[in-house]
């Protein structure tokens, strides 16, 4: 289980009040959403960092076809 640390957040009071009234676990929702946002940003940066390789690989596949393509049975 990941280690958790207390932190201060600024949240809109109307949304916070509504979430509390509805019994929503604010910490869990914030943690889950932030985890998803971080994952998307890591993926975006990976694609950006590797864009040259991906473009070169795609160009090679387009020009030469897939490796071992002649033996593919599907």
**What distance in Å separates the CA atoms of residue 65 and residue 70, rounded to the nearest whole number?**
9
DSSP letter at 72 equals -
Note the pLDDT of residue 38: 98
Note down pLDDT in tens along the chain; length 74 residues.
778 898 999 999 999 999 999 999 999 999 999 999 999 999 999 999 999 999 999 999 999 988 888 888 87
Decide if 44 is inside a domain. Answer: yes
Instruction: Give the global pTM.
Output: 0.72
Number of domains in the chain: 1
Tokens describing residue 16: 């916070």
Neighbours of 42 (CB within 10 A): 10
Which pLDDT score, from 0 to 100, does residue 67 have?
85
Q: 45: domain range?
A: 13-65
| Structural domain contains residue 6 | no
Return d(Cα 1, Cα 5) in angstroms, integer: 13
The answer to whether residue 3 sits within a structural domain is: no
Q: With beta carbons less than 8 A apart as the criterion, state whether 19 and 26 touch.
A: yes
């Amino acid at each position: 289980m990941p280690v958790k640390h207390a932190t201060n957040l600024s949240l809109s009071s109307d949304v916070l009040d509504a979430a509390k009234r509805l019994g929503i676990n604010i910490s869990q929702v914030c943690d889950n959403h932030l985890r998803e946002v971080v994952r998307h940003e890591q993926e975006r940066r990976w694609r950006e960092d590797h864009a040259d390789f991906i473009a070169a690989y795609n160009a090679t596949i387009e020009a030469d076809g897939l490796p071992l393509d002649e033996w593919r049975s599907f």
